Amino acid sequence: MKRVQSRVLLLTLVFLIPGSYLSFAQTTDTTSQQERQERWFEEKDILVAPPEEAPVAEEPAKVEKKKAPKRWRIFGEVGWEYDDNVTLTTDHKEFRKADVDPNANRYRISSGLGLTLFRNDKYEVETTYEYSYNFHDDSLNEFNFMSNEVGIDLTRRFRLWNRPSKIRVGYEFEHGRRGGHTFSSEHTWFLDWTGEWKKNFPITVYERLAAKNFRNKGFNPVDTERDGFYHRTGFLQRYLFEIFDRDAELNFGYEFGFQATDGNRFDRVDHGFRVGTEFRLIEKVRFETNFYFQQRYYHHFPGSPNRHDLHYKYEFILSRRFGKYIKASAFYRRADVNNLNDGVLGVFNYDRNIYGVELKFHY
């Protein structure tokens, strides 16, 4: 369940690399799923809001009654970005089609609604719905993708190490369409915990398990079917600078993941790392930069030696808030993917540059 909340940053480190080493034509049929699943880089969907400061005891006469929070929220996004490799075309010339034009403008829109079903001092139950649509120009309509997502989650607030802490458990369902037809469906169960084990050191630990079903089974389902279970678990540790009133941070994280698919070539084990920083640049303008590294080992990929990919990603973001409800951002992102066992597997090597702007709102 994608979230746009004023106190929520999101992280995820796993995305698919579908395709076939037998011919480049077979890889292009599955690249839109890879593009959609680059959530480690494109999006962040793990709860990492910094816990609140431990409250200071006040005299009873000074305590004011707080206004009850509303039980609903709306959120959404509009954005434009230029992608110089929508099709994830390899950078090895011997595997490239002469007529491939991989670059295009991509336009993104989304809107959603969250409704709190129950809330008290310790518990909160919320259900959400979100619609999103990504579409391209430059004759790359086959990569347009629409999704509908519904979810429900339970949050339990408590104190640990004498500081606020929270644990969240939930379920979400996503239905994706491409070219007017169902492309995929996904069931995800998640668990995450956020706490501050020491002042200025908030941490989030998370667990996710997804069951995915793709309508396209590939040219040989025994080998190319991507249906199966997708798992990832990891943490994000942050350090908030006291000298900047906890308004600047350094962070690092690690994630382990695996996918057990019906098709042998997509069985995979992942290890990923990230490091980043975020701070106020001038007045209301903030700057954020992140570096990601991930290695993916396809232990049943046909051929010898097996496929072993290394992913390097970089992102730079400038953002500014307008009032309480609107945030505008400009960004640049780059990805470099290399296969340790080159040769015929060089078809999976590529680089990608994306830059654009986006406007998010929540109320």
* DSSP assignments along 174-211, one per residue: EEEEETTEEEEEEEEEEEEEEEESSTT-EEEEEEEEEE
Quick one: pLDDT at residue 65? 61
What pLDDT digit, counting tens, does each position of 178-220 carry?
Answer: 877 899 999 999 999 999 999 999 999 999 999 999 998 888 8
Tell the residue number behind the tokens 């990832």, with chain if given. Answer: 232
Quick one: pLDDT at residue 340? 85
- Taking alpha carbons only, the member of 44, 14, 9, 11 closest to residue 294 is 14
- Taking alpha carbons only, the member of 302, 208, 307, 196 closest to residue 249 is 196
Average pLDDT over residues 318-332: 97
Question: Is the pLDDT assigned to residue 73 strictly greater than 60?
Answer: yes
pLDDT band at 222 (very low <50, low <70, confident <90, very high): confident
- What is residue 40's DSSP assignment? H
Range scoring the smallest mean pLDDT among 38-42, 286-290, 322-326: 38-42
Q: Give 181-185 contacts, CB < 8 A, sequence gap 24+.
A: 181/215, 182/215, 183/32, 183/33, 183/145, 183/214, 183/215, 183/216, 184/33, 184/212, 184/213, 184/214, 184/215, 185/212, 185/213
Q: State both tokens at 202.
A: 């908030």
Question: Is the pLDDT assigned to residue 119 strictly greater than 90?
Answer: yes
Tell the residue number behind the tokens 């992942």, with chain if given. Answer: 270
Question: For the chain, how far is it from start to end, CA to CA, in angstroms?
Answer: 17
Range scoring the smallest mean pLDDT among 120-129, 247-256, 285-294, 344-353: 344-353
Name the CATH code of domain 24-51+72-362 (choices 2.40.160.40, 3.40.50.2300, 2.40.240.20, 3.40.50.360): 2.40.160.40
Does this model's pTM top 0.85? no
Domain boundaries, the chain: 24-51+72-362
- The set of residues, in sequence order, having a beta carbon less than 8 Å from that of 126 and lying 6+ positions away, is 114, 115, 116, 117, 152, 153, 155
Quick one: pLDDT at residue 66? 67
Alpha-carbon distance of 86 to 19, in angstroms, equals 14
Question: Is the pLDDT assigned to residue 281 strictly greater than 60?
Answer: yes
Cα 274–250–350 angle (5° rounding)?
25
Other residues' Cβ atoms within 10 Å of the Cβ of residue 255: 24
